[in-house]
Amino acid sequence: MNSIPRRLAAIPLARVLLIVLASSAAARAQDAPEPGADWSPPGPQTAVVASPASLWVGRNTTSLFSAPSGEAAGRPVPLQCGPIIADPHPAYSIFYDTGILASPGHPVSTTLQSFSPGVLLSLGPQWTLDYTPTWEWYSNPLFQHTLDHVARLQGSVAADDWTLGLIQGYSRSSEPLVETGRQTPEEAVTTDIKATRGYGSRTFIELGLEQVILNSPVIPDSREWSTLDWVHQPLSPQWDAAVGGGAGYVSVNPGSDMDYIRPEARLTWKPSPRLAVDLRGGVEDRAFLGSREGRLVTPIFSVSSDYQAGESTKVTLAGGRDVEVGYAEGQVDRVTTLSLGLQQRVLQHFFIGAAVGREEVAYLSTSGNPADLRNDGSTTYQFSLGTVLFRRLSLSAQYSSLRNASSAAGFAFSSGQTGLTVQYRY
């Protein structure tokens, strides 16, 4: 199990690209931590058809640019009461979407407006609490207006030679998903506990326990408990090697319960402060429990690379393969992704982003020997342009294009999204 629950860690490709392109320019300029960094609500394993505007405005994003030199200095302290510091980050977005699946085989167009009056609370040197409600309004009556929620408590404590960390998350969303071909409500509660300890001057261990509870009135509910533990052995100041083992159990209702084991190895290379490469690989052996027990053995991997080519240019490469609980009864999804992104500051005050990505998803049966139920392949292109006004107000224009091919009737489509986001940071 990774540092984020499995079904949440494998963030859908289109969502990742939206994050890459639409991170708030204000957060970059002010060097403030983004609300809900490293946390994302559950979503489809393939592309998001109609991405909520809140995803564009930083509700679940991580800052991609360091603050320009000198801009963070002198930033006023946000609202403060004793040791608690409040950093509000309200945002408004409006997007026009085409080719959105209201139901399988029924693509439509809609305008989507979103308002997210979020706030990030610093509770002390090591603890933060972020909460963002998001109201979404669709112009097309085939979609329902929604009120979504994302909350995240994160912190760490030191105990003797151990460092203990906790991430407690909650999300509720209702988005059009490729898996279901319609607007799909979901609720997730996640708990992630980590412990690290060093031995001697080099070797250290990393232990992790996670629980993921997913509920929905239209797709199977699931409960997942898992662990992934690493033993790290730095080989040099630039190289770190690790071996690990993971295991988990998933209760699905309705559907087949399952368990899995995941032996993995990891190699990290950081030759300079500007370049970092992380490689992971292993095998997952997943058993489907029931009257017709079957197994699925899958080579899994992930690769990520960040290259900071100067103060204002960043290139990112990410890819991987994983297995996740499906959005239909008796199904798991094998997901393979690859994406390339570029972020660039131009003319000192403008930020541009561009990205392209590919995702392949095999929907597999859990009955007996897994067989393909459906295969999807999607390609996504993204572009954004942003700037900062008065040091606190950011404006960002975005465009995205998505093509999804599917072996199942009604799930192939082409969609586009054009919009504008306005965000204020105290």
CB 217 within 8 A of CB 186: no
Residue 27 has pLDDT above 50, yes or no: no
Residue 67 has pLDDT above 80, yes or no: no
Under the banding of pLDDT at 50, 70 and 90, the label for residue 65 is: very low
Structure-derived torsion over alpha carbons of residues 335, 149, 104, 139, reported in degrees to the nearest 10: -140
Residue 153 has pLDDT above 70, yes or no: yes
In angstroms, rounded to a whole number, what is the distance separating the alpha carbons of residues 117 and 386? 20
Residue 398 has pLDDT above 90, yes or no: yes
Q: Which helix (H) or strand (E) holds 28?
A: helix 25-30
Percent of the chain with pLDDT over 90: 61
Q: What is the pLDDT of residue 390?
A: 84
In angstroms, rounded to a whole number, what is the distance separating the alpha carbons of residues 108 and 97? 8
Query: Quick one: average pLDDT of 234-257?
Result: 93
CB 255 within 8 A of CB 220: yes
- What average pLDDT does the structure give for the chain? 81
Q: What is the pLDDT of residue 160?
A: 80
Q: Which helix (H) or strand (E) holds 335?
A: strand 331-346
Q: Which helix (H) or strand (E) holds 403?
A: strand 393-406
Residue 137 has pLDDT above 60, yes or no: yes
Residue with tokens 């509770």: 123
CB 245 within 8 A of CB 267: no
Q: Encode burial over 187-205: b for 16+ CB neighbours within 10 A, e otherwise.
A: bbbbbbebbbeeeeeeebb
CB 152 within 8 A of CB 39: yes
In the numeric block, which tokens belong to residue 379? 């390609």
> What is the residue type of 139?
S
- Greater pLDDT, 30 or 237: 237
Query: 254: cis peptide before it, omega within 30°?
Result: yes
> What is the residue type of 26?
A
> What is the residue type of 279?
L
Under the banding of pLDDT at 50, 70 and 90, the label for residue 22 is: very low
Residue 60 has pLDDT above 70, yes or no: no
CB 156 within 8 A of CB 168: no
The conformation of residue 369, written as its DSSP 8-state character, comes to S
Q: Encode burial over 70-85: b for 16+ CB neighbours within 10 A, e otherwise.
A: eeeeebeebeeeeeeb
Under the banding of pLDDT at 50, 70 and 90, the label for residue 76 is: low
The CATH class for the domain spanning 6-424 reads: mainly beta
As a residue count, the chain comes to: 426
3-state secondary structure at position 26: helix
In the numeric block, which tokens belong to residue 390? 């008065």
* This prediction's pTM: 0.78
In angstroms, rounded to a whole number, what is the distance separating the alpha carbons of residues 277 and 254? 40
Q: What is the pLDDT of residue 25?
A: 32
Q: Encode burial over 163-172: b for 16+ CB neighbours within 10 A, e otherwise.
A: bebebbbbbb
3-state secondary structure at position 76: coil
In angstroms, rounded to a whole number, what is the distance separating the alpha carbons of residues 198 and 196? 7
Rg, the chain, Cα only: 21
Sequence-distant (6+) residues with CB within 8 A of 390 are none
Q: Which helix (H) or strand (E) holds 6?
A: helix 6-9
In angstroms, rounded to a whole number, what is the distance separating the alpha carbons of residues 104 and 181? 5
In angstroms, rounded to a whole number, what is the distance separating the alpha carbons of residues 82 and 59? 26
Percent of the chain with pLDDT over 70: 80
In the numeric block, which tokens belong to residue 154? 């994160």
